[in-house]
Amino acid sequence: MSDNKAVHRAAEIIRRGGIVAFPTETVYGLGADAFNPLAVARIFEVKRRPSFDPLIVHVANPADVKRLVKEIPSNAKKLIERFWPGPLTVVLLKEEDIPDIVTAGLPTLAIRMPSHPMALSLIRESNSPIAAPSANLFGYLSPTTAEHVREQLGDQVDLILDGGPCSVGVESTIVSFLEEKPKLLRPGGVSLEEIESVIGKVEAHPIGEARPQAPGMLPKHYAPRTPIVLDWDKKNLDLLEDKNIGFLAFQDPKNYLKFQSIEVLSKKGDIREAAANLFAAIRRLDALDLNLILAEPIPEIGLGRAIMDRLRRASTKGEIN
Ligand code: TXA
Ligand code: MG
């Protein structure tokens, strides 16, 4: 089937109240018509989310935001102008007719305009904004290829659109505009530096807050099955000699000990490339039945902040023995 035909079919499924997995530049999403509460309910069922958790609504045109929210503060407008289409989500006060299941009863709505051409065509042809979380089971890593979606959700979704590997590889940056000062709810594909260069200082949110405003902020949200350890110490590595250990290297690994398997995120140490490879690399290591995955810390600049955020959430804290 050609890409165009696949998108036609997918849009028809969405219009009829079905659910479709589709590529975005960040990660694959699992989408339904945002104005069809039953279709949205099926997303929660398929993802096995233990409780309702608000979804991001995806639009194909910045002008569509007006119809979905009460007002657009000027700083939100500036970010939209600068970063859409792209990996930025804004949280604004919602219009009354947005179904409660989309926002989990919150008075606010998270919105973004993705840049992946297939996502944009799908939204346009569906004639409605598309509500979509990442297309993974609750608590697991987001998918960055159609194959990842197939493995986890396979026959439970009506169609999986294949748009190749996601170019950004980490989820969108979420900025809330509910209070006077914009607040970073989740670091992601647009760096904090880029955002602050447009609207000035943004309040960052500490990890592991007791009452997270975005469930993606739960400390253990992106966990693979194999324990990931981030704060390991070279000195202790010989204690692990008899264990099967994988190494998630940022760049050229120095062979500290015999790892069962090594994944290099970016040979040349490019942080963007590392972000694009992150989830697929963790999945490959996670499939090997290792005792442990050691991850090499990444400089926390640009997308490094989003990568380290996901690694911290995926990791087990504490001793490696
Ligand atoms: O890049 C992305 O954002 C991807 C692609 C598919 O667009 N989507 C994604 O969706 O990561 P999801 O559902 O996996 O994560 C959305 C996050 C959740 O942590 C959710 O709690 C938060 O956004 N969120 C959604 N609506 C919100 C709201 N009204 N206020 C605060 N947080 C919200
Ligand atoms: Mg998710």
pLDDT one-digit tens code per residue, 296-305: 999 999 999 9
| Chain Cα centroid distance, residue 219 | 15
The 8-class DSSP code of residue 58 comes to: E
Q: Whose CA is nearest to atom 23 of ligand 1?
A: 214
Instruction: Determine if ligand 1 sits within 6 Å of the CB of residue 27.
Output: yes
The atom number, within ligand 1, closest to the CA of 170 reads 1
User: Sign of the CA dihedral 231, 236, 238, 241?
Assistant: negative
Q: How confident is the model at residue 240, as a pLDDT? A: 76
Which is more confident, 136 or 313?
Answer: 136
Over the stretch 188-199, which tens digit does the pLDDT of each residue have?
A: 999 999 999 999
In a mutational test of the pocket of ligand 1, which residue from 40, 46, 56 has the highest number of ligand atoms less than 8 Å from its CB? 56
Measure the CA–CA gap between 158 and 153, rounded to whole angstroms. 10
The atom number, within ligand 1, closest to the CA of 112 reads 7
Instruction: Determine if ligand 1 sits within 6 Å of the CB of residue 216.
Output: yes
Instruction: Determine if ligand 1 sits within 6 Å of the CB of residue 191.
Output: no
Over the stretch 124-181, which tens digit does the pLDDT of each residue have?
A: 999 999 999 999 998 889 999 999 999 999 999 999 999 999 999 999 999 999 998 9
Q: Average pLDDT in the 294-321 region?
A: 82
- Give strand pairing partners of 30: 21
Q: Average pLDDT in the 268-274 region?
A: 95
CA 138 to centroid of ligand 2, rounded, Å = 7
Q: Average pLDDT in the 241-251 region?
A: 89
Nearest to 7 by CA among 108, 126, 128, 175: 126
> Model-level pTM?
0.90
- Residues with CB in 5 Å of ion ligand 2: 134
Query: Residue 238 — very low, low, confident or very high, per pLDDT cuts 50/70/90?
Result: confident
User: Who's near 237: CB < 8 A, 6+ residues apart?
Assistant: 256, 257
The atom number, within ligand 1, closest to the CA of 29 reads 6
Measure the CA–CA gap between 228 and 286, rounded to whole angstroms. 9
- Give strand pairing partners of 112: 58
Residue type, 260: Q
CA 244 to centroid of ligand 2, rounded, Å = 29
Phi, psi of 8 (to 5 degrees): -55, -50
In a mutational test of the pocket of ligand 1, which residue from 20, 27, 55 has the highest number of ligand atoms less than 8 Å from its CB? 55
Through-space distance between the first and last CA atoms of the chain, rounded to whole angstroms: 51
Q: Which two tokens stand for residue 273?
A: 């490339």
Cβ–Cβ < 8 Å for 84, 62:
yes
Measure the CA–CA gap between 302 and 314, rounded to whole angstroms. 20
The 8-class DSSP code of residue 316 comes to: P
Residue type, 219: P
Which is more confident, 254 or 9?
Answer: 9
Nearest to 245 by CA among 232, 258, 231, 255: 258
Q: At residue 15, does pLDDT exceed 60? A: yes
Tell me the HSE value of 311 on the side-chain side, using a 13 A CA sphere.
28
Report the percentage of the chain scoring pLDDT > 70.
91
In a mutational test of the pocket of ligand 1, which residue from 40, 161, 172, 174 has the highest number of ligand atoms less than 8 Å from its CB? 174
Q: How confident is the model at residue 51, as a pLDDT? A: 75
Looking at the CA of 144, name the nearest ligand.
Answer: 1
User: Sign of the CA dihedral 210, 110, 86, 139?
Assistant: positive
